[in-house]
A = this chain, B = another copy of it.
Amino acid sequence: MNKQQQDQHWVGVDLGGTKILSAVYDRQFQHMGSKRLRTQAERGCEVVIERLIRSIRQSLEKSEVATEKITGIGIGCPGFVDMKTGLVRECVNLSWKDVPLGEIIREHFDCPVYLLNDVDAGVYAEHRFGAATGAENVLGVFPGTGIGGGAVVQGSIVHGPGITAMEIGHVHVVDNGLPCGCGNNGCLETVASRLAIAAAAANACYRGQAPYLASKTGTHVKDIRSGVLAAAIENGDQVIEDIILNACKHMGVVIANYINLLVPEVIILGGGLVEAMPRLFVKNIRNEVNKHVLSIYRKDFRVAAAKLGNYATVMGAASWAAHKIQTLD
């Protein structure tokens, strides 16, 4: 091992709608230190970028790493980015459009900076260090308020020309289905996101079919989050389990179709809903996938819950920066 390798320090950033998390890693991706700040998106783009820079600086201080020792920075952003140029093309959470974040951070820290989508970063981390270690082709599905998707194909994150890809929440699954936030109808998000599940659960409350949930949240969709849904099932609200099985059916078809096309070795399921009920989601989605996947592919994949939790995006962003710099050599 040469001096240069010994000195490697990678920074990963998870730029979220509510918080910014920065972490510093050594060359073996051991965590050295991190800093979390509130995003304060409502104060505008410049303030957020200033806070992002501050979170990096403070994570470096905690790690006792000097700024000039950074080998590279990876930043996971919500929304669409141009991975080649480091441009945030569109980010609804932050109300950003065409922000040259990569360039700004590169100039500030005088080191290579790589932007990627936050879900892509999480899936890449699972591929490198988590539930999909050793697999070259990985699909990640993260049902939440929407449904995030990410994919690694032959060891690299899938992306389009100048734009991030894997909008699995907007795969069309229901003809003449409900309107979706994207402007289309019948997208996977309209039937399988946490919001879709919460709306169906609220209806079940109203009909008197989910007494436990009714006692905790009533019909208020905003309050029906992952934890209380899991608790409702544990406390006998069978209808909630049925609603989740319905969501798993739709996700299973979409995942089976993806397997028939790209044949990933591992399907990673993550996000708050899956964290609250990992066995329910893994088992039911695996069953549904097996119904629709070509028989010759049936032995070639496994379904697993994500392992890395809150640090997945920062680890993925940092290790993606390392991958990009090392494959340039």
Contacts and interface: CB of A to CB of B under 8 A. Distances in A.
A109 to B, nearest CB: 28
Interface in A251-272: 253, 256-258, 260-265
Interface string A157-201: 011111101111011100000000011100000000000000000
A275 interface: no
A51 interface: no
Interface residues of A, number: 44
A300 B163 contact: yes
A143 interface: no
A294 interface: yes
30 contacts: A90-B296, A149-B261, A153-B153, A153-B154, A154-B154, A158-B262, A159-B263, A160-B262, A160-B263, A160-B264, A160-B300, A161-B263, A161-B265, A162-B300, A163-B263, A163-B296, A163-B297, A163-B300, A165-B263, A166-B261, A167-B261, A167-B294, A168-B260, A168-B261, A170-B260, A170-B294, A172-B256, A182-B294, A184-B292, A258-B261
How many copies the complex holds: the figure is 2
A136 interface: yes
A137 interface: yes
A225 B136 CA distance: 41
A231 B166 CA distance: 40
A110 to B, nearest CB: 29
Main SS at interface, chain A:
mixed
Interface of A: 80, 89-90, 135-137, 149, 151, 153-154, 156, 158-163, 165-168, 170-172, 182-184, 253, 256-258, 260-265, 291-292, 294-297, 300
Contact of A156 (B149, B154, B165): B154
A172 B300 contact: no
Q: Closest 9 CB pairs between A and B?
A: A160-B263, A165-B263, A171-B257, A167-B260, A172-B292, A170-B260, A161-B265, A153-B153, A170-B294
Contacts of A154: 153-154, 156, 158
Contacts of A168: 260-261
A296 B156 CA distance: 23
Contacts of A156: 154
A136 B84 CA distance: 14
Given A160-B137, A161-B300, A260 B295 contact: no
B172 A297 contact: no
A151 B137 CA distance: 14
Nearest to A175: B253
A256 B185 CA distance: 13
A261 to B, nearest CB: 5
A289 to B, nearest CB: 11
Given A136-B161, A160-B262, A171-B260, 9 more contacts: A153-B154, A158-B262, A163-B296, A163-B297, A166-B261, A170-B294, A172-B253, A172-B256, A184-B294
